[in-house]
Amino acid sequence: MMNTLHSQHSLYRSVVFRSLTDDQIARLHEASLEIMARTGMRFYDQEALDLFKKAGADVSDGNLVRIPPHLVEWALRTVPKSITIYDRDGRRAMALGGYRSYFGVGSDCKYIYGPYTGERRQAVLDDVVNGVHLVDALPNLDFVMSMFMPADVPVETYERHQMEVMLRESHKPIVFVGLEAASTVDAVGMAMAVAGGLESLQRYPFVINYVNPTSAFKHDQEGVQRLLFAAERNLPTIYVPVDYRGMTAPVTIAGAMALSNAGQLAGLVLSQLKREGSPFIWGAAGGSTLDMRSMVASYAAPDRGLFGCDLAHHYGVPIFGTAGCSDAKVFDAQAAAEAAVSLFANVVAGVNLIHDIGYLDCATTGSLELVVFCDEFIGWIRRYLQGQLEISEETLALDLIHEVGPDGNFLETGHTLRHCREDWLPNLLDRRDYNNWVAAGATTLQERANQRVREILETHRPKPLPDEVQRQVKAITQHADAEARRTA
């Protein structure tokens, strides 16, 4: 074999995808700064108002905060540009930042298609357990969320039950939601019990606090307190104001982006005022799409694109996005297409935390089968994007080509034997010829996905938490339950 040394290599490892020009990014950023300084936004929390006032923001009309641009620029300098998230056992699990993508399910679907009945019914705590087991077992999913809102535990404390299950039933990092500040205090308390104290949780954070303030204009007290609580402890928060184009924000994408970005920048400033350098994760700004025929909020509309992702990359902060979900009512061809395309789009845009995998019916119903399908498809995308072309003597195989020539074949060569296992192979997607497919039961993708869900639920047993830790975690849930009964 020739021994050639090449200089001047250029190697493209991935698709390059950007949707905003530098000029557009600058214009949107200026627009957000103008909204913050001119119109202002309301913060329904005294500590937040005090922090803003002390830093020189203009607070008027009780709780209307106008934030000067220099505070935003300061906060953008102090916020960490990348965040390492660990698993429950303290191993590195996600290096959030840059164009690295990690995947997880969503939270709080009210309904599920039962894996054994196929029937759509209200979700219960056992479904939360099943969802967590699935994520724990699937190789391409990186973080856990609750998936379901359980109907069989007290409504005042269901978030504690979800957190307990997520900590107990998976070793993967957790993104937890909380509508109330008190449930976040408990969630962090449980995580501390698992980590063995606050210091160790801070050193190896494996839980992420996900806050949805009311809107870019209105930052509700519970949401703000949850942000401040985590920032004080140097724990990461995803802060995504809930805006709907045409409702709480302009219907045009640029205006909605400028406004929702302003809401995120305001949250960023607050987090840095509470604790300089505390980790903060962006949402893909732009406001959700309402279907103007029905006012249904779509989870798979193409309109907003991933413009917000370019903004976050410009700021250099980790970004959280939504994909692998669908507006379809059942796991059908629409669901598979919307889930697959949105996953691909999010990955090439460089979204770091991709959540809501498995959502159907605009986030009303969770499908374990769709989760399994997405895991498979993430494998497809991983292979497609990592499939850099290696050009070498071995891979070009010019000597072999010459030896085999027009009259031979490559099947029986050592070269083929050496490399024949390098291609990505599907697990759920079917490639058999027709007769073999029939012989194997003539199953559809939906049936195979359901089969895979059942196999995992029946066989996968996550690594258990030590008994004593389980007891400490459970005690927090039990305490909250008792409190709820007492005040009922």
Partner 1 sequence: MADILQKIASKLYQGEEEEVAELVQQVLDQGMDPQEILSGGLIAGMDEVGRDFKAGDLFVPEVLIAARAMHAGMNVLRPLLAESDVPTAGRYLIGTVKGDLHDIGKNLVKMMLEGAGFETIDLGADTKPDAFVDAVREHQPKIVGMSALLTTTMVNMKTTIEALEEAGLRHTVKIMVGGAPVTEAFAEEIGADAYASDAASAVEVARSLVA
Q: 94 — alpha (psi -120 to 50), left (phi > 0) or beta?
A: beta
Closest CA to 187 of 226, 158, 160: 160
CB of 244 to partner 1, least distance (A): 6
Q: How far apart are CA 325 and CA 138, in angstroms?
A: 17
> Nearer to partner 1 by C-beta: 108 or 369?
108
Structure tokens at 160: 């504690």
Q: How far apart are CA 360 and CA 106, in angstroms?
A: 11
CB of 149 to partner 1, least distance (A): 7
> Nearer to partner 1 by C-beta: 8 or 294?
294
The torsion angles phi and psi of 449, rounded to 5 degrees, stand at -65, -40
CB of 387 to partner 1, least distance (A): 42
- Measured at the alpha carbon of residue 109, what is the angle toward residues 103 and 112, in degrees to the nearest 5? 100
> Nearer to partner 1 by C-beta: 172 or 219?
219
CB of 214 to partner 1, least distance (A): 5
CB of 264 to partner 1, least distance (A): 18
Instruction: Using only the alpha carbons of the chain, give its radius of gyration.
Output: 24
CB of 395 to partner 1, least distance (A): 54
> Nearer to partner 1 by C-beta: 152 or 447?
152
> Nearer to partner 1 by C-beta: 23 or 61?
61
SS3 state of residue 441? coil
Q: How far apart are CA 32 and CA 12, in angstroms?
A: 34
CA atoms within 13 A on the CB side of 305: 14
CB of 110 to partner 1, least distance (A): 8
**Widest distance between CA atoms in the chain:** 86
Axis crossing angle, helix 253-274 with helix 307-315, rounded to the nearest 10:
30
Axis crossing angle, helix 181-195 with helix 221-232, rounded to the nearest 10:
30
> Nearer to partner 1 by C-beta: 149 or 353?
149
Closest CA to 27 of 180, 254, 224: 254
> Nearer to partner 1 by C-beta: 33 or 128?
128
CB of 282 to partner 1, least distance (A): 21
> Nearer to partner 1 by C-beta: 293 or 431?
293
Q: How far apart are CA 241 and CA 220, in angstroms?
A: 10
Give the footprint of partner 1 on this chain (CB under 8 A): 44, 108, 110, 122, 149, 151, 155-156, 158-159, 179-180, 182, 214-215, 218, 220, 222, 242, 244, 246-248, 292-296
